[in-house]
Structure 1
Amino acid sequence: MKVTKIGHCCLLIELDGLTVLTDPGAFSQEQNQIRGIDVVLITHEHGDHLHVESLKEVVKNNPEVRVYTNTSTGKLLDEAGIAYAVLEGQEVASVEEITIEAFDAKHEEIFEGFGQVQNTGYFIADRLFYPGDSYANPGKPVEILALPVAGPWAKVADVIRYALDVRPKHAFPVHDALLNESGIASQHKHCSRELSAKGIDFISMKAGESCGF
């Protein structure tokens, strides 16, 4: 499996001939030029995870792409005329014999319920778990965790506790485009120090970088 962090939570995941794109949001644009995408997964409706105009470009450049999301986000896609399939709850889809399993968990609270939209994490090929904006634990072994490390709902202690609860073999940071370079370096340093000490391989992946697993 090869994972490329396009930016924030927009990932390009390549495995066994299948190419999956996650959360084409407003904080990255490179996804708009990529061809060969088979699947798009959208965890929730917030603009840093779904930029409708970006998704339109992705679909235009990849006319056979399959878009999966939850019911709430799907309403926005209906309005935009973008075809999709609902994948939520604990439903499982199979694409080219690769499983994609949904895990619903409410968006983490910003303040007094603000922003707590329907959020669906996705477990890809029983290897990589991307929870969206939640601290959802799939309750099964996780090899690779896309770990949200920053945001108006996140603090370092909660991020680290979440990773220790899931106990992946490897973790890499997502949801960090709100930070400047100094902030990114600080968050990644805290996570690396604490998780490495507990036997979790933390890969300080920045936008534009790739890693093989």
Structure 2
Amino acid sequence: MKVTKIGHCCLLIELETLTILTDPGAFSQEQNHITGINVVLITHEHGDHLHIESLKQVIKNNPDVQVYTNTATGKLLDGANIPYILLEGRDSISIQGTLIEACDAQHVEIFEDIGQVQNTGYFIADKLFYPGDAYANPEKPVEILTLPVAGPWARVADVIRYARDINPQRAFPVHDALLNEKGIGSQHKHCARELSAKGIDFISMSAGESHEF
């Protein structure tokens, strides 16, 4: 499995028979030029995870791509005449031999009901778990955790405790586009120190970087 962090929460996940793009949001643009994508997974409707014009460009460049998301996000796609397939709750599907499992969990509170939308995490190939904007637990062993490390709802202590609870073999940071270079360095440093103390390998990936898992 090769993972490229395009930016923020937009990831390109390349498996033997399938290439997956996650959350083509407004905080990255490189996804608009990629071909060879089979599947797009959208966790929720917030603009940093779903930018309609970006998604349209992805579909234009990949006419056979299938978009998977939840009911709430699907309503926005309906309004944009973008076809999609529901994958939410604890549903699962096998696509070209790759298992993708949904894991609905509440979006972490920003303040009271601000931004409280349906959020669906996705567990890919029994290996990588991407929770979206939630401290979701798939209730099964996780090899690779995509760890949201920053945002209006993400406190460092909660981020670290969440990763420790999941206890993956490895983790790498997402949801960090709101931080400047110094902020990213500080946040990653905290995570690396505290997770390594628990035997979790924290891989400090920046936008544009790739890693083979």
Specify if TM > 0.5: yes
Could you give the per-residue CA deviations for residues 40-82 of structure 1, whole angstroms, max 9, x where no partner exists? 0000000000000000000000000010000000000000011
Match of 2:153 in 1: 153
Tell me whether 1:29 sits opposite 2:29 in the alignment: yes
Which secondary structure does the structure 2 equivalent of 1:121 belong to?
Answer: strand
Residue type of the alignment partner of 1:163: A
1:76 is aligned to 76
After superposition, where does 1:6-155 map in structure 2 within 5 Å?
6-155=6-155
RMSD over aligned Cα atoms: 0.4
Residue type of the alignment partner of 2:195: L
The answer (yes or no) to whether the contact 2:99–2:125 under 8 Å persists in 1 is yes
TM-score w.r.t. the length of structure 1 is 0.99
Distance between the aligned counterparts of 1:45 and 1:29, measured in 2?
A: 17
What is the distance in 2 between the residues matched to 1:197 and 1:103? Answer: 28
How far 1:116 sits from its partner (Å)? 1.0
Q: Distance in 2 between matches of 1:114 and 1:99?
A: 33
Equivalent residues of 2:17, 2:97 under 8 A apart: no
CA distance in 2, matches of 1:170, 1:204: 11
Code of the residue aligned with 1:212 in structure 2: it is: E
Q: Find the residue that maps to 2:56 and give its secondary structure.
A: helix
- For 1:143, give the aligned amino acid: E
Three-state SS of the structure 2 residue aligned to 1:3 is: strand
Unaligned 5+ segments in structure 1 are: none
Cα distance in 1, alignment partners of residues 29 and 169 from structure 2: 30
Question: What is the aligned partner in structure 2 of residue 165 from structure 1?
Answer: 165
Runs of 4 or more consecutive aligned structure 1 residues displaced over 6 Å after TM superposition: none
Q: What SS is found at the alignment partner of 1:195?
A: helix
Question: TM-score, structure 2 length as denominator?
Answer: 0.99
**CA distance in structure 2 between the partners assigned to 1:46 and 1:111 by the alignment:** 15
Deviation at 1:106, TM superposition (A): 1.2
- What fraction of aligned residue pairs are identical, expressed as a percent? 78
User: What is the CA deviation profile of residues 161-213 of structure 1, one whole-angstrom value per residue up to 9, with x for unaligned ones?
Assistant: 00000000000000000000000000000000000111000000000000001
SS in 2 for 1:211: strand
Q: Post-superposition shift, 1:16?
A: 1.3
Residues in 2 aligned to 1:38 and 1:175: alpha-carbon distance in whole angstroms: 23
- State the number of aligned residues: 213
Q: Say whether 1:179 aligns with 2:179.
A: yes
* Structure 1 residue 17 displacement after superposition: 2.3
